[in-house]
Structure 1
Amino acid sequence: MPSHSAESDPLGDFCIGDTNGPISGNSFPCKLASKAIPQDFFYEKLNLEANTNNILGSNVTKANVMVFPGLNTLGISMNRIDIASWGVNPPHYHPRAAESGMVIKGQVMVGLITTGNNVQYSKVLGVGEIYVVPKGVVHFQKNVGQEKALIYAAFNSHLARTVLAGVNLFCSRPYVDYEVMTRAFQVDKTVIDKIKNSFGYPQCNSFIQFVG
């Protein structure tokens, strides 16, 4: 009787990503193991406080495969989220990963909205408390304290990506058709123009740090 088997785990210890190479499947090609250097396995930038002096009062520092090639094929990554007092990390979702986060400093309201029935679950979390957001579910964070808040978030993907609906719709080039927008939001063109102008270039560039 014939038998079939598949090897789901890596055959080597690591696959340092060559991010200049073509993506194959869900990963970058591996550079030669003999070319690995210590820096491939370490990343320091998550210890640096980010500037939150922007329109949202928050900043996200990513440690994904694009900046930390040692994560290639491992299916893990992390973000540092700095939020000024009463700042927000706006509603968004990660199409490729679930998220688990821990509050390191401050008090943060974390909320998520389910798909289908649109139920919101939210809670104010303090230092040492954690949250989880399922893959593809819209969520947000808001600093409700008087001091800057800090969250470390982990993902089960080496490139989770981030989608902000407002950025996708109002910062697209070319712009989304007006009839699509007016019917989707049940408003007239003047409202769409007002929102578009508030997002409009170069303001859209302020959101680059939150996506990708």
Structure 2
Amino acid sequence: MHIFKSSMASMFALAFAMFGSSIFTAQAAPMSCTTSAGGSGATLTLSDATAAACFTGNDTNQIDNSFLLFGMTGWVLSDKNDGPDGDGTIDFVTGPTNGTKSGGWSIDTLAGLTKVVITLKAGNGFGAFLLDLTTPDPLSGTWASTKGLSHASIYYNGTPTIVPLPAGALLLITGLAGLGLAARRRNKRQPV
């Protein structure tokens, strides 16, 4: 019995050494990049990202269906923190605040997508960050910039999944039931 326990302990220790540390430390680190716009460049950082890339210029003027970003084209603007831009598939709940140099961000959904990017524009460039959707909370994180933020945007790649709102379905059912009840009462009151 002692040999069995010793063998089991050794196998557990080996398994922990091989897999345990990666299981317990599998968290995305903040990703950073620096724009190369001379004296007006900025270092931009976003938490919970798997990749980062910096560019000169303005993301909303450059990123479109044909822009190559993280090896893919077909990017769609979903939301911008300071305007009604985008198709609204994914929206900022808490957007980065323009003019500041750090803070938090949160989005409302992933809409079934596996490729979501947040961009931070500061100085004469912008950083694009591919979100790590495997983190415990892929819908929120932090950001930082060495220059005051101009704006932040959300882009996605792929076809979103439309998820019906449960509250909307409940509201529809309640409304239909109310109409049915009103029609039934009206029919009872009318003489035959």
With the length of structure 2 as denominator, give the TM-score of the two structures.
Answer: 0.27
Structure of higher CA gyration radius: 2
Greater per-residue helix proportion: 2
Structure with higher RCO (Cα < 8 A, 6+ apart):
2
Greater per-residue strand proportion: 2
With the length of structure 1 as denominator, give the TM-score of the two structures.
Answer: 0.25
